[in-house]
Amino acid sequence: MRRRPARSLQLRHRNRRVARVGRCRCRADGYAPMTLVTDLDTPILVIDRAQMEENIRAMANRMHTAGVALRPHFKTSKMIEVAKLQIAAGAVGFTCATLAEVEALLDAGITDLFWAHAPATPAKRARIIAANRHGRVSVGLDSRALVEALAADAAVADVTIPVRVEVDTGLRRTGVDEAAALDIAQLVAELPGVELDGVYMHEGQLASVRGNRADLQNAGSDAAMQLVAAAERIRAAGIPVPVVSVGSTPGWDSAPFVLGVTEARPGTYVFFDANQWRLGSATVDQCALHLHATVISTVREGEAAIDAGIKALSSDGSNRDTSFGIVVDVAGEPVDGLHFERAYEEHGVIEGHVADGMRVGDRIRILPNHACGVVNMWSRIALVDGDRVVDQWTPVARH
């Protein structure tokens, strides 16, 4: 008997269909070019090429307007192809979360880097010293002990490591206050093997701001002013501070515009995500990364199980949300009446009255909470132009 094709998902939002189901068309080594994205098996992570490129151009233009250098965080994309697009748009180099990211970018010929982490072990110090033989890789730290250990190892290796002092402007994770920043900067100035490259902050606390966008912008500006004050205090002691660097996508329209800031390090902007949409950093149509999944069970009223769980999506939401992402329609708009707050390893559960209209085989799209965490889960990602797959890209340095 001839099998009937899976039906199109009839779930609608503002008269737009969420998705359609088609045949699985894939290869053992990846995704066949020009295949319809709806023909790929699920779960699958997908990048909208045109929107990603627009996000890259827009942020480069914003930072040019602010008069600051753009040093994006590589941890968001972890893809050399994306990094090259960012460099072409005007990025001066990259910020890295791990030494594996540093080494991957150096291997790709991108040599102006900042490792925003602490070289707390001998092995890490050896790797950062080796990295500085192939490029200029500055290091972030927040203690005299780290400065002394790094300086000693670097001096023995006859290498000078650029150092940035981390200032805590409210996140309360790492970083020091103004007085301690000055003390560390003075030590850096005294020791061979290290040189002061600047000061930096990560205003991650902006993701927890409760209120409207203006409240978040004010918080971003306040954090940047604290950082500038720390830099001025160091300069007043006769020590040059070349770089005053702010970071985080939520603060893109505030912190970089504070007088005295010289560099910005946003990362998530390349794709944006549900967290950034909730914070007002982006509109839903600016989000370029989605996960496609398929309904696999509808045995419970008001629920639909899908083939994507905690191994495909991150639950790293803001304090405004506890979901694993947002169910969206084909235009990327959130679908009213559907919630994704339960997930297991390979299963997710979509809940809400609209789920009663879903059937096994229906295909849905999820806007991830946190792009950085989700990308790191995938060994390959489909790049699409419209509804066609044009390439597949491989995240590097995932561990």
Q: Where are the beta strands (DSSP E) in 203-347?
A: 243-247, 263-265, 289-297, 303-306, 326-328, 339-343
Same fold, 12-49+282-393 and 51-270: no
The superfamily in CATH containing domain 51-270 is Alanine racemase (3.20.20.10)
Instruction: Examine the pLDDT at 208 and tell me if it is beyond 90.
Output: no
The confidence band for 209, taking pLDDT boundaries of 50, 70 and 90, is confident
> Three-state SS for 321?
coil
Cα atoms in the Cβ-side hemisphere of radius 13 Å centred on 101: 25
Q: Give the CA angle between residues 47, 373, 75 to the nearest 5°.
A: 80
Stretch 165-188: mean pLDDT, rounded?
A: 97
Give the Cα separation of 329 and 343 in Å (integer): 20
Tokens of 339: 């919630």
Give the Cα separation of 188 and 348 in Å (integer): 50
Percent residues over pLDDT 90 in the chain:
85
pLDDT digit string (tens) for 262-312?
Answer: 999 999 999 999 999 999 999 999 999 999 999 999 999 999 999 999 999
Q: Where are the beta strands (DSSP E) in 142-242?
A: 161-166, 194-200
Residue indicated by tokens 């950085």: 372
The DSSP symbol for 334 reads: B
pLDDT digit string (tens) for 77-127?
Answer: 999 999 999 999 999 999 999 999 999 999 999 999 999 999 999 999 999
For 29-67, the DSSP string reads TBPPTT-BGGGS-SSEEEEEHHHHHHHHHHHHHHHHHHT
Tokens of 9: 């998902």
Residues 12-49+282-393, CATH architecture: Beta Barrel (2.40)
Q: Where are the domains of the chain?
A: 12-49+282-393, 51-270
The DSSP symbol for 5 reads: P
How many other CB atoms are there within 10 angstroms of residue 222's CB atom? Answer: 15
